[in-house]
Structures are given as C-alpha cells and as structure tokens.
Chain A
C-alpha cells in the first residue's frame, strides 16, 4: 500500500509546533527510514499517517483511502486492519501473556474477528521470530529483545499493508537490535508491506530503500530536495518547527 501526503499542514492545538509537508510519497512495499533530531516532527508524521492526528490542511492517503477524510471510527478500523505499529517502549500490557499481547488488536476492535486463522498466524509469527517458547509468559518475565519481538508480532499479526515503527530498536542493545530488525525486514518483505521507521541509529540506514531526513526538510518550504518523494536523501516535503513537542 502506498502512502501519500499532499499539502499537509498540522499544528497542535496548544501551539508551539507546526509541521508542513507539501508532498511525501512512500511507494507500496518500500522500506523508508526517517531520521532527524528530536522535536522535528518524526512521531507527528507517523501519527498523521496512522490517522491518530488529523492535518489542519491537506490530505493523507493510504492507497485509495483518504485517511484525513474518514471519521474517527473509520480511521480506527483502518488502523487496526491495515496498519501495524511498533513503539520504542514496546507498550505491552503487563497483565496479559505474550500470546494475548500478540493478539491484542483482535480484542480491542470488533473490526477484526479473532478466529483460528488469526491464532495460527500468531503461532507462526512466534515461531518465525523465535519467541514461541515464551508465549505463555508475562512481559515482565521476558528479555528486552523478546518483548520487542512480541510487539513486532502484534504489529504483524493482522497482516497489515503498512508498518509504522517509532524507534523500535531504541531500547535494545546493538546485537538484539540487529536481530530484531532482521526479523522485521523478513516479515515485512514476506508480506509485501510498506515500512516507515523512525530511528536515531544511522548505522541501520543502509538497510532501507530510502531515508527521509527531517533535519534536511527543516528548510523553508520549497527548498527541500524534490517534491515527489523521489530523489535526494529524503522523500519530499517541508517541515518547519517553532518549538518542541513534535517528535
């Protein structure tokens, strides 16, 4: 599924931060990394694409769907069905087993039905990522790497078209981070999903098809490299920041 942002302008109601993206395009199946200093809007970008935040102006499209035109329920349904999200702090629920965490999307939105197929996918993902032996344990009994793999499986279990990762390896040691990324790329590639990952680790960038450098994009509107997301070190677009809070 391709992702397209056109003329997106966003500011938090409380003010202090503004993000303007004339155009940004992620091709279907493309693996894109987003880098940049804190406060440049990386997380805001992810939230806009996921439909968690709505732009003040412009459109966000996922495939043929204009996300910014959908109502809240439809955006939630779209998110749970077609987008997988992975967070830096894993965000697993401590009172659930790893298996139940993995199947969490099926419990919190009736747009997804928990059936044998979903359970089978959960088991298969557990095996593929090497956590099948810890699926009955609570997150507190898992290592950091195992927790992030559970979070990764949770994002993949619905077979989404788009995976949005917000610094998923930020809390992992280099070896575990590399292994986790290997599994992420393997699964994303297998499913043909589009991947957008926010990261501060420049050592990971060669593994991506393309890198969007938010710092580069902090130039005034129109100075960015390319307007269609093709060229340069980044996609397309422009970001302006008047403060913190956007990352």
Chain B
C-alpha cells in the first residue's frame, strides 16, 4: 500500500494543476453549505443573544422588524419619532426606559443619543477615559476610535447635513470623553452621545455666546440694546463648552422632543405585561419583544438555509458527476500505463487501488481547502456579517 501511495502521490503531484482544480471542484460543494450554516449560525446566535438582552422596545407604529433591528443594531429607521414625553410616561411605570436617538453621523459613523443606562444594559465599559455622558461629550465605540485614531480629550465633529442652508445647524464639535472596550457588537461602530446632544444636532436646542467676549468685530453686522447681528461666517461650527453649557435650552415643548425608539427594561414580568398591553393599545405606539421578532426573522433565515441546502445538493450531485467523468477520462488516458503494470506483474486490483488512493489525496486536499475556508469564515464571521449587513443595508 505504501508503494501504491507513493505512485498515487507522484501522479497527483506531477499533474498538480489538474489535481488542484479537481480538489477545488470538490471543495466548493463541501465548503458552501458548511460555510452558509456557519455564517447563519453565527448570525442567528448574534441576533438571538442581543435580542434576549433587550427585553422590550417601544416606538412608533409601523414595521416591527425596522423598529427592532434599528434598536438592536443602532440604525435609523423610517418610522415616526416617538416623543420624549412618552419616555417620561413610561418611566413612571416600574420599568427603566432608555432613549435611543439614531439620526446623525460623525465622520460617517452613526451618532447614538442615549442615556448612561444603555451602557449598563449592554455591559459596556470604558477602555480609556470615562463613560458618563455630559452634553456635548461623546464616547466612541472601539472600532470608531481605531478608525479615526481618536483618544479621550480629542474632538470629533458631527457631519453637517446641509452645507449651503444656514437654517440647518452647523457641525457640532464634540469632546471625546472615553473609548469603549471592544465587544464585537454593533456598539463598536457607533459614537455615543447624551440624547440632549442629538437635539442640539436637530437644531431643537441651542446655547448662547457672550458677544462682548468672543465675537470678532469684523463679523458684527449690527448691534441693538438686546441683540447683536452677526455674519453667517461666524457660525462655522458649534460647540458645548464649560462657559456656554449652562445656556443650552430648548424653545419647544420638551415632551415633544424626538426619539427613534425606547428600550424598556421592566422590573418584572407583571410590569412587562402591563406596559406592553398599555402601549400596544395606543394607536400611535407599539411595544415589541425583540426576541420574538428575531425568532420570526430567523424562521425566514432558516427557510433561506434550506434553500441553500437544496442548491448545495444539486451542486454536490453535479460535482460527483464531474469527478466520475474526470476519473473515467483519466482511466482512459492511463490505460497504457495500467497495461504495463499488468504485464510486469502488478497485483490484481492495483489499478483500482491506484485511482482510489489518488482520489483519496484529492479528497483530502479538498477537505483541507474546505477546512481552511471554514476556518477563515469562522474567524472572520462577524466581520463578514458586518460587511454583508452593510451591503444589505
């Protein structure tokens, strides 16, 4: 058997291009269904664990998948905003209500307006700096800090929505107060701010600068006893400083300030049932249980997996047919060699064993290739899912 293994190996190595091509053909139908299952399992596990950690989500009536996925993965949704007053009403129940405002970006990264309870819910901790959010401060997810090369004490500017419309608030300069430890979750990819900072970005809240102290006289267009008219060139960027933080205020009804969603953590099951029933009875709002919504979503994912399995089966059958064809042609090409072996006295069945061993090598290489591919998918699974979700978004 050792001698035959040597012959088979030498033949496979001599025709390495053909061997590798054949191995790749076999590896694909092995790799694809396993990789799909691996990715879907990772996806399922990621979806499920984050959903289970999020007891309830409140938001405007509409697509429950949008509301749930937006709250879990910190993405803006197309639903109506839920007003701050609703959060305050929820907070009066036996629950903890965590606001989420998801509308703005900073240097291309989503800005998430929330409250410190969010960090407790997700068990996020600071790798450097501090977590408590002051208005105008921001806490960076690990990947954002790495991408932008920012550390506590640096400044981060929000993305300006309109360059040529001076009625839209200018970019806000935010001070980085901390950087979160990496979690491998969507929290790594966002910038956290206090929800009140988002209202500054909305233009619903603002502060005042003491004109006597800081305005360049060249930019002053006119003065009266109560007002100073300044050039638009003055307002290149807004910032919250220790000097002006106390002056920030809203002119509108505070209860009407917008939120994207509210994560609700009830104190017990009874509180959960009551608050769900109360909110779902309203015409404007809904309360969803993320784990139930994700289960519905996964049922769809599992159907996709079944479809993939069917495709893989067809691919596998066609590959087997291809391999049989290649082996048949190879046997014909090697007929003369086999006749020689027969004539010099090779033992009976040596030809079959030679082909079988060589096929064993090919399958071993295929398995190796498939395993390497699976190892890559396994190690890059989260990144792949993130990239895929980015493409799908």
Interface on A for B, CB 8 Å cutoff? 47, 50, 52, 72-73, 76-81, 83, 85, 87, 91, 93-96, 100, 104-111, 114, 154
A109-B350 in contact given A93-B337, A95-B15 (Cβ < 8 Å): yes
B345:A79 contact, CB within 8 angstroms: yes
| A76 contact from B3, B4, B11, B347, Cβ within 8 A | B347
Minimum CB–CB distance from B259 to chain A (whole Å) comes to 72
A87:B340 contact, CB within 8 angstroms: yes
Q: Determine if B344 is an interface residue (Cβ-Cβ < 8 Å).
A: yes
A105-B11 in contact given A91-B336, A93-B337, A114-B3 (Cβ < 8 Å): no
Interface on B for A, CB 8 Å cutoff? 3-4, 6-7, 10-11, 13-15, 336-337, 340-348, 350
A52:B343 contact, CB within 8 angstroms: yes
Minimum CB–CB distance from B75 to chain A (whole Å) comes to 58
For A107, the chain B residues whose CB sits under 8 A away are: 3-4, 6-7
A111-B343 in contact given A95-B14, A96-B10 (Cβ < 8 Å): no
Give the most central of A52, A95, A110: most B CB within 10 Å. Answer: A95
Minimum CB–CB distance from A191 to chain B (whole Å) comes to 17
| B345 contact from A95, A96, A109, Cβ within 8 A | A109
A-B contact pairs, 10 of them (CB 8 A): A50-B343, A76-B347, A76-B348, A78-B345, A79-B345, A91-B337, A95-B15, A108-B345, A108-B347, A109-B350
Measured between alpha carbons, how far is A154 from B343 in the docked complex, in Å? Answer: 13
Minimum CB–CB distance from A32 to chain B (whole Å) comes to 20
Q: Which residue of B lies closest to A94 (CB)?
A: B14
What's the A-B contact tally at a CB cutoff of 8 Å? 70
B10:A95 contact, CB within 8 angstroms: yes
Q: Which residue of A lies closest to B4 (CB)?
A: A107
A52:B346 contact, CB within 8 angstroms: no
For A109, the chain B residues whose CB sits under 8 A away are: 345-347, 350
For B344, the chain A residues whose CB sits under 8 A away are: 79-80, 85, 104-105, 108, 154
A108:B14 contact, CB within 8 angstroms: no
A108-B10 in contact given A87-B340, A91-B340 (Cβ < 8 Å): no
B345:A72 contact, CB within 8 angstroms: no
Chain B interface secondary structure, helix, strand, loop or mixed?
A: helix
Measured between alpha carbons, how far is A100 from B385 in the docked complex, in Å? Answer: 51
Minimum CB–CB distance from B47 to chain A (whole Å) comes to 52
Minimum CB–CB distance from B5 to chain A (whole Å) comes to 9
For A78, the chain B residues whose CB sits under 8 A away are: 345
Measured between alpha carbons, how far is A52 from B343 in the docked complex, in Å? Answer: 7
B345:A80 contact, CB within 8 angstroms: yes
A100-B10 in contact given A91-B336, A114-B3 (Cβ < 8 Å): yes
Give the most central of A78, A79, A85, A93: most B CB within 10 Å. Answer: A93
For A47, the chain B residues whose CB sits under 8 A away are: 343
Measured between alpha carbons, how far is A109 from B341 in the docked complex, in Å? Answer: 10
B7:A96 contact, CB within 8 angstroms: yes
For A93, the chain B residues whose CB sits under 8 A away are: 7, 337, 340
Minimum CB–CB distance from A157 to chain B (whole Å) comes to 11
Minimum CB–CB distance from A109 to chain B (whole Å) comes to 5
Question: Given A52-B342, A76-B348, A77-B345, list of 17 further CB < 8 A pairs?
Answer: A77-B347, A78-B345, A80-B347, A83-B345, A85-B343, A91-B340, A93-B337, A94-B14, A96-B7, A96-B10, A104-B344, A105-B345, A108-B7, A108-B344, A108-B346, A109-B350, A110-B347
For B4, the chain A residues whose CB sits under 8 A away are: 107-108
Measured between alpha carbons, how far is A47 from B342 in the docked complex, in Å? Answer: 11
Measured between alpha carbons, how far is A106 from B7 in the docked complex, in Å? Answer: 11
Measured between alpha carbons, how far is A80 from B233 in the docked complex, in Å? Answer: 99
- Top 4 nearest A-B pairs by Cβ distance? A107-B3, A80-B345, A79-B345, A95-B14
Q: Which residue of A lies closest to B351 (CB)?
A: A108
Measured between alpha carbons, how far is A189 from B377 in the docked complex, in Å? Answer: 66
For A110, the chain B residues whose CB sits under 8 A away are: 347
Measured between alpha carbons, how far is A105 from B343 in the docked complex, in Å? Answer: 11
Q: Which residue of A lies closest to B354 (CB)?
A: A108
B3:A108 contact, CB within 8 angstroms: yes
Measured between alpha carbons, how far is A95 from B350 in the docked complex, in Å? Answer: 17
Measured between alpha carbons, how far is A47 from B345 in the docked complex, in Å? Answer: 12
Minimum CB–CB distance from B362 to chain A (whole Å) comes to 15
Q: Which residue of A lies closest to B14 (CB)?
A: A95
Minimum CB–CB distance from B337 to chain A (whole Å) comes to 6
A108:B337 contact, CB within 8 angstroms: no
Measured between alpha carbons, how far is A95 from B15 in the docked complex, in Å? Answer: 8
For B345, the chain A residues whose CB sits under 8 A away are: 76-81, 83, 105, 108-109, 111
Minimum CB–CB distance from B364 to chain A (whole Å) comes to 18
For B337, the chain A residues whose CB sits under 8 A away are: 91, 93
Measured between alpha carbons, how far is A77 from B350 in the docked complex, in Å? Answer: 13
Q: Which residue of A lies closest to B336 (CB)?
A: A91
B350:A100 contact, CB within 8 angstroms: no
A111:B10 contact, CB within 8 angstroms: no
Measured between alpha carbons, how far is A79 from B343 in the docked complex, in Å? Answer: 8
Measured between alpha carbons, how far is A10 from B271 in the docked complex, in Å? Answer: 99
Measured between alpha carbons, how far is A110 from B3 in the docked complex, in Å? Answer: 9
Measured between alpha carbons, how far is A52 from B14 in the docked complex, in Å? Answer: 30
B336:A80 contact, CB within 8 angstroms: no
For B336, the chain A residues whose CB sits under 8 A away are: 91
B343:A80 contact, CB within 8 angstroms: no
Minimum CB–CB distance from B361 to chain A (whole Å) comes to 13
Measured between alpha carbons, how far is A81 from B344 in the docked complex, in Å? Answer: 10
